[in-house]
Amino acid sequence: MAEDVNTTTENMIPEEDEKQSVDAVNEGVDLENREPETDDHEKEEKKSKMKVKKEVKVLQEKIDELETNLAELNDKYLRLFSEFDNYRKRTLKERIELTKTASEELIVELLPVMDDFERALKSMETVVENKNTTDGVKLIYNKFVNILSKKGLEAMKTTGNEFDTDFHEAITNIPAPSEEMKGKIVDEIEKGYLLSGKVIRFAKVVVGQ
């Protein structure tokens, strides 16, 4: 009986050892299987991060490109707006000047008529005895002057002023009647006129020296 017990015991020990060995082997197999799973997860995570970085980089490059294009378009718009504004101002100025001087040619041709009116009035003051006739001519002359004045015509004031080649044309020089009149206009031969500030006829004058 003792031999049977021992035999049974001896037979059981290898079975337990064999079981432990099998468990150890299975555990080792599980560990080996787990490590590759962890590596695959990390690789996928890295790939995902790399993909996100690439997408962010592409989007940033696109944003930079759009910002550059926007800056160029804004610059072109500002230049175009500035050129248009300058053109508008220049055109408006030319239009105003044209309006002011549109009748210049006609008014220049009417100036001799103005001179005739003034000479006629002077002669009538000494020759014509009928005051009503003189007053009628003065009335017509004043209406004529008022119409031209509304168009921008202005007679120059010359006698007693300094001689200025921008406005006056010296016909002759005479000795000045006084020290104060040297270099100044002593007499006016023909009136000068301005049209909206522009000289349309120089005044013909006599200058003291």
Taking 70 as the threshold, does the pLDDT of residue 73 lie above it? yes
- Distance, CA of 89 to CA of 121 (rounded, Å): 46
Per cent of the chain over pLDDT 90 is 50
Sequence letter at residue 134: T
Instruction: Give the model's pLDDT for residue 6.
Output: 45
Task: Say whether both 4 and 95 belong to one domain.
Answer: yes
**Contact at 8 Å (CB) between 178 and 157?**
no
Task: Say whether both 119 and 66 belong to one domain.
Answer: no
- Distance, CA of 192 to CA of 201 (rounded, Å): 5
Task: Say whether both 107 and 97 belong to one domain.
Answer: no
**Residue with more model confidence, 30 or 60:** 60
- Distance, CA of 124 to CA of 28 (rounded, Å): 142
Tokens describing residue 135: 């007053």
**Residue with more model confidence, 163 or 134:** 163
Task: Say whether both 54 and 117 belong to one domain.
Answer: no
Residue 91 domain boundaries: 1-101
Task: Say whether both 1 and 97 belong to one domain.
Answer: yes
Q: How confident is the model over 9-23, as pLDDT tens digits?
A: 444 444 555 555 545
**Residue with more model confidence, 116 or 127:** 116
Task: Say whether both 157 and 88 belong to one domain.
Answer: no
Instruction: Give the model's pLDDT for residue 93.
Output: 87
Orientation angle between helical segments 104-127 and 131-150, nearest 10 degrees: 160
Boundary of a domain, candidates 69, 84, 101: 101
Q: What is the CATH number of the domain that holds 193?
A: 2.30.22.10
- Distance, CA of 84 to CA of 18 (rounded, Å): 99
Burial of 19 (0-12, 13-18, 19+ CB in 10 A): exposed
Instruction: Give the model's pLDDT for residue 16.
Output: 52
Provide the 8-state DSSP code for 152: T
Taking 70 as the threshold, does the pLDDT of residue 66 lie above it? yes
User: What is the pTM for the complete model shown?
Assistant: 0.54
Task: Say whether both 1 and 92 belong to one domain.
Answer: yes
Task: Say whether both 91 and 115 belong to one domain.
Answer: no
Boundary of a domain, candidates 101, 117, 137: 101
Task: Say whether both 95 and 67 belong to one domain.
Answer: yes
Task: Say whether both 198 and 128 belong to one domain.
Answer: no
Grouping H, G, I as helix, E, B as strand and the rest as coil, residue 155 is strand
Task: Say whether both 73 and 49 belong to one domain.
Answer: yes
Q: How confident is the model over 92-107, as pLDDT tens digits?
A: 988 877 777 678 888 9
Grouping H, G, I as helix, E, B as strand and the rest as coil, residue 183 is coil
CA 1 to chain centroid: 122
Total number of domains in the chain: 3
Strand duo 185-190 + 203-208: pairing: antiparallel
**Residue with more model confidence, 102 or 141:** 141
Task: Say whether both 2 and 74 belong to one domain.
Answer: yes
**Residue with more model confidence, 141 or 101:** 141
Partners of residue 190 on adjacent β-strands: 204
